[in-house]
Structures are given as C-alpha cells and as structure tokens.
Structure 1
Amino acid sequence: MRKFWGVFLVVCCPLVLLGQRKNTVIQAPKKTVATSTSEWSLGVSTSTNSGIFGGVQFRKPWGTKENKNFVGLEAAILNDYREFTSPYTYNGRSHKDGKLNQLIAIRPAFGRQWTLLQKSSEGGQKLMGLFSTGPSIGLQKPYYVEISYDNGGQATAEVPYAKTLDNTYKKVIIMGESSVLKGLNESVIVPGWHVKTAVNMEIETLKQNNIGIEIGFVVDYFTKPIDILNLTAGRQVYTTGYISFSMGKNTK
C-alpha cells in the first residue's frame, strides 16, 4: 500500500504542477486612461533683436491628447539691427547712439503643439514642435537717456534722446540710458501681426513641475514703419531668432 501511494505521488505531482504551469495566464498591464490636465508655463527669453533680456512669455495649453492647442501672451523688445552702442561711456554706463525710439511688441497668440518625442512613464524629457500666430501690438516709445547739462551750473535729467540733438539743453553729456520702462506712458501704438515657430524641450522635475528650453523664430509685421534710428528709414518687418527658459506645472 505504501508503495502504491509512493508511485501515485511520483506520477501525479509532476502532472499537477505541469497543469498549473500550463494554465497560468500572464496578464498584460492595464492601459491607463488619460485624464484631463491643465498646464501652464512662464519664462524669459533672449533674442537676436535684444540684449541679454529679450522679454517674458506665458503659455497655457489644454486637452488630454498629445497634440494640444494653446494660448499665449508675450512681451518682447525689438531692436533695429543697424543700431550700435556708443563708444563713449560715462562711468561704465552706455547708450545706443542715434536711437530715437524703442519698440516693445505685445503678442497675444493662439497656437498648436505637437509631441515629437514622448517622455517615459517614469518621467524624463519631452520634445515638442510649436506653431502660433496672432496680433502684434507695437509700443513705439521714446528712447530715454540720462544727461548732464549746463543750466548755470551742472544738472542732470532723464530726457528723450531726440532732445539731445536740438538746442533744448546746453553742453549735453550723455551719462547712460534710462530704464526700458521710462516714457512708456508716451508710447504710440502700432498694430501688426506675427507668426512664430519653435521647438521646445520639456524636462519634468519633482511634484509635477517642469522646466523648458525653447528655440524658435518669429516674424513681426507692422502696419507702418517704426522709426527707431535718427536719419535712418524705419522698417515694417522684423525677424527674430530667440531662446527662452521657462518653468511650469502640470496638474491632474
């Protein structure tokens, strides 16, 4: 009897194990259902038509798909490629020689972004292509400089550069340029339109935050020439290459 149970165990146990192994089903991982996300980003830029600081931008895409629409708002400084910094400085301060006006472009935009390279489920980098268009609201404001002049003694003042070219002030010495916002209330609005294309690399960080690096190209067209330099014809079309650095947040 013992021999019978021994043979039974030797024969049946492998068959039972084999049957269990054969019936084992490996289930595929369940697909996650996309949920609505709200994203935004805020950044600063530098461009070929500005100094180190070129402007600020805000963008908000929406939707659950990889290719999304977005709205944006940007303020950018546009210089004329023919302007140059004066070789004469005062205490290390500089100014643009012959510059009459400064141009700031406000760009509301509507656009579309396409995912070119998706990041993994564990995070990482995401590469996107972007295209947007919208109005360009040009603010043509006087270019202000700080001067030292003779009024019976030495005095200083912040005045439009154009005032240094006439006889309003005597024995003028330009000490340096004023703040970019000086004279903003004297701006003349020049409407226009812009088109932008760019490539953006987004890097996910902690707690659904992300940082982005964007390289792109913008064309601005204004309804009339913008007079920026003295004795130089103004332009209606400005082309700009830029690079921007942004921070944003994704919320589910």
Structure 2
Amino acid sequence: MKPILLYLIFCGLFFIHFQSSAQLKPQPEAEDENYEKEWAIGLNMNTNAGLIGGVNIRWSRKTLFNRTPTGENSYHHISLEMVNVKHPKEEQQTSAFTGNSFILRKTNYLFSIRPHFGREWILFRKAKEQGVQVNAIVAGGPSIGIVAPYLIRVASGSGEEEVQYDPEVHTNSNEIRGVGSIFKSLGQSSITAGVSAKASVVFELGSSNRSTSGFEAGTMIEYYPEQIEIMAVPDNYQFFTSIFLIFFFGARK
C-alpha cells in the first residue's frame, strides 16, 4: 500500500476519533452559528498525485428551503479544483550526468480541472468556543482533462534539446538529462472531456464562527471516454478513483 494512502487513512481516523470524543458531552450552540455563505481555498492531497496534488476552491450558500428544519442544515455547494493525475507506476529516476530527476517511460501529463456542483449538509455543529463542525458533501460535474506532452532533455549535437519521451527512440536512459519546460508542454497540450463525482466529509476546526479552517476527506471517481496515455505501458486508464484530503481555510457570513 502506498505511503500516501496510509497517511490519508491515518489522518481520517485520527480526526474521526477526535470528533467522536468531542461529541460525547453536550455543548452549547454558538449564538451566531447560522451563516448564509462560506468560501474556502485549500491544498489537495490524493492517492493519484502524491503529497501536493493541486488546489481547491469551494463556495457554499444556504438553500432556498432554509426555513424548514432540514433546510437549516442544507447548503448549495460549488467547487473548482485543478489536480495533477499520475500513473501508479511512475517512479523518479536520476540522471547520472546532471543529477536531475525524471520519470522513465512517462509520455504525458494529465491535469484535471473539475467544476463540481452539489449539496452540503451540516451533520454536527460546533460549540460556541470550541469543538468541531462536521459537514457532508456530495457533488459532481464535468472534468476537463489537459493532456500535455512530457518533455525530456536529451543530449544532441548542439548540446541539449527538449522532446517528448518516445520509448522506441529513447531506449538508453543514460541519454536523458532531465525534464523539459512545463510551460512548453502546456503550449502543446490537448483537451479531453469527462465526468467526475465525489463524496466527502468536512471537519471544520477553530473557535470563530466567521472564519473557517480544517480539512475535507473523501473519495473521487473520474471517467473519460477513452484511455489517456500517461505512460508507455499497456495499462493506461480512462476510469480513475482516488482518496483525497484537502486542508483549507476561508470565511463565512
């Protein structure tokens, strides 16, 4: 099992235990606990990307049914995130000539832009001065996949050149000097469209009811109509699943 997966599971279990302990004794509700809007920005960690997978922005607004007992805890959810999707067989190697790292047999980057729309519910409210608020989110929407060539620097007669990795041409890894420019890769990228959905639990920490911080943990599924070649291997995918963890901060009113 990957270390990042173990880390995410550990964090999730730790905070679930923390929340369960906090709920054992009754706590008074905050006077200004109700809020109409909330926004937050955070860093994404997931099992398809590594330590820092991307960025996430989310916005919540109370639903039109807020006059009902159920509606008091119901919010519209909108989020936008951009993450780097990696192949599970990616491994860093180091050039013997330059000391720079590169990924052997990687042919393309896959950057996924995911605008999501859904619903958010408050499961537990935090106390006035301390505690944890727990929300649940279910959302989905389109996925915009940016497929950019993975450029490597190789020796040439004039020094070095940046080319896309080709397993039939670059058979000698000792000729690879490092990774090419990501901006040049993005300039040669193509777009593909898919769909994605997530289910998650949000743990909001802190004592202020006008600011928010904490983390969101959940699972993501993503589908593209055809396989996307990330590496020059037989098993590339069109269906991706991941466990993610987002550390965020924001404000509400």
Same-fold call, TM cutoff 0.5: yes
- 1:35, 1:118 → 2: CA distance? 10
The structural deviation recorded for 1:124 is 3.2
Identical counterparts, % of pairs: 28
The structural deviation recorded for 1:123 is 4.5
Q: CA RMSD in A?
A: 2.7
The 3 A distance-change label for structure 1 pair 90 and 116 is: farther
1:75 aligns with 2:78: no
The 3 A distance-change label for structure 1 pair 89 and 48 is: farther
Quote the residue 1:156 is aligned against.
160
Contact 2:96-2:174 within 8 A present in 1 as well = no
Deviations 1:171-209 (A, max 9, x none): 972222245544112211111101101111111355822
Aligned partner of residue 73 in structure 2, secondary structure: coil
The 3 A distance-change label for structure 1 pair 55 and 179 is: farther
Contact 1:194-1:221 within 8 A present in 2 as well = yes
Deviations 1:208-248 (A, max 9, x none): 22212111111100011101111424311011111111111
Of 227, 230, 252, the residue aligned with 1:228 is: 230
The 3 A distance-change label for structure 1 pair 208 and 85 is: same
The 3 A distance-change label for structure 1 pair 112 and 78 is: same
- 2:173, 2:117 → 1: CA distance? 51
Larger Rg: 1
- Tell me which amino acid in the other structure corresponds to 2:151: Y
Of 165, 169, 175, the residue aligned with 1:166 is: 169
Contact 1:43-1:247 within 8 A present in 2 as well = yes
TM-score, normalised relative to structure 1: 0.75
The 3 A distance-change label for structure 1 pair 178 and 208 is: farther
- 2:193, 2:73 → 1: CA distance? 34
In structure 2, list runs of 5 or more residues that go unmatched: 1-29, 67-71
- 1:109, 1:191 → 2: CA distance? 14
Contact 1:56-1:74 within 8 A present in 2 as well = yes
- Tell me which amino acid in the other structure corresponds to 1:183: S
Deviations 1:118-161 (A, max 9, x none): 111334321111111100111111012233x131x5x1333322
Aligned partner of residue 187 in structure 2, secondary structure: helix
Quote the residue 2:51 is aligned against.
52
- 1:194, 1:55 → 2: CA distance? 16
Residue-pair matches, total:
215
